[in-house]
Amino acid sequence: MTSTKAPIAPEVAGPFVRAVEETFEKMLGCAVSAGRVSERETPAPRDLSVVVGFTGGRRGAVVLSLSERTACRLVSRFAGEQLEELNTTVYDGVGELLNIIAGRAKAALSREAAAIDMSLPTIVFGREHEVHRLKDAPTLLLPFASELGDFELVLILERPAEPPLRVLVADDSRVMRKLVRAALRDLGTVDAVEVENGARAREALAAPGRFDLVLLDLHMPEVHGRDVLLDLRRRPGGERVPVVVVTSDPDVERIVDEVVQLAGGRDVTRWLAKPFTPQDLIQVVRAVRGAVRT
């Protein structure tokens, strides 16, 4: 069955494929051939599964699923003794193989996320047994073929938590700032900084740390929103900061065009006339942020 959840990024499978190839070559003297990676909830029915859990920077698990015959042949090669049926030696041997594979993959994954911790291998056996996956966690199935038999790895990994969207909301109306912040909840976790005048908006944009989005009123005390926008666009890197000018000024289009002509930033500058609905705001915000990613 094809998963309806968001897929794991393809590059996540790479460390596991390489770990399997290296482990089989060095520990078993056996080449493996990786099949097509696909999204599936569970592997095909097997006799034995070994599970190693991940916590920390990536939460989830990797499952090695294989038949009794393949498990015995792998561990026979690994342990240097002939094994014909599932027993403690086979369980321990398959568990150790997955432990090595998961450890090698973990080292690669840890370079792109916070530190990852691994659990000890857990053995599950019995024909058509079931390994329950994390709810809503994306799942990838990695099939392998070798001279010792076929087997599968199942990756069940949550995506790393995305950092909150850092937003500057500059408007002299406290009620409007509150409405804007409420609408932004549809974008996920938002870290909003509110300022009530143009001078504080200018200070916030000049301070260390980059904003992912600026929602800017035009008519504010001390410094006009036009000048705040112009100043931002002239700063190094400021030409790529998404800005939505939110105002009731009927000349907003002309003012925004004037700033764009003077200092650039056409692709990442939008305007929205008051009054507007939360849906209107989200639509414009998504459009302006999409321009940054393209």
The two three-digit tokens of residue 250, written as one number: 């009927």
Kindly tell me the sign of the dihedral angle through the C-alpha atoms of 234, 237, 239, 244. Answer: negative
Q: Select from 3.30.300.30, 3.40.50.2300, 3.40.50.300, 4.10.520.10 the CATH code of 165-289.
A: 3.40.50.2300
Which is nearest to 269 in space by CA: 241, 247, 234, 236?
241
Which is nearest to 205 in space by CA: 221, 181, 225, 179?
225
On the 0-12 / 13-18 / 19+ scale of CB atoms within 10 A, 215 is buried
* 75 contact partners, CB below 8 Å, separation of at least 6: 83, 89, 90, 93, 94, 97
Alpha helices in 24-129 (DSSP H): 68-79, 88-109
- CA dist 24 and 174 (Å) reads 63
Residue ranges per structural domain of the chain: 10-157, 165-289
Scanning the structure block, which residue is given the tokens 């143009």?
Answer: 198
Burial letters 68-93, b for 16+ CB under 10 A, else e: bebbbbbbbbbeeeebeebeeebbeb
Q: How does pLDDT run along the chain (294 residues), one tens digit per residue?
A: 333 333 445 567 888 999 999 999 999 999 999 988 877 655 566 789 999 988 876 778 889 999 999 999 999 999 899 999 999 999 999 999 999 999 988 887 766 556 778 888 998 887 766 665 555 567 788 899 999 999 999 888 776 566 788 999 999 999 999 999 888 888 878 889 999 999 999 999 988 878 999 999 999 999 998 999 999 998 888 888 899 999 888 888 888 888 888 887 777 888 898 888 889 999 999 888 877 655
How much is the pLDDT for 209?
A: 78
**pTM passes above 0.75:** no
- CA dist 244 and 271 (Å) reads 5
- CA dist 62 and 153 (Å) reads 7
Which is nearest to 135 in space by CA: 59, 225, 25?
59
Residues in a beta bridge with 194:
169
Chain centre distance of CA 254: 39
Helices (runs of H) and strands (runs of E) counted in the chain: 8, 12
How much is the pLDDT for 42?
A: 55
* 178 contact partners, CB below 8 Å, separation of at least 6: none
Q: Please say whether the beta carbons of 66 and 94 come within 8 A.
A: yes
**Does domain 10-157 sit in CATH 3.40.50.2300?**
no
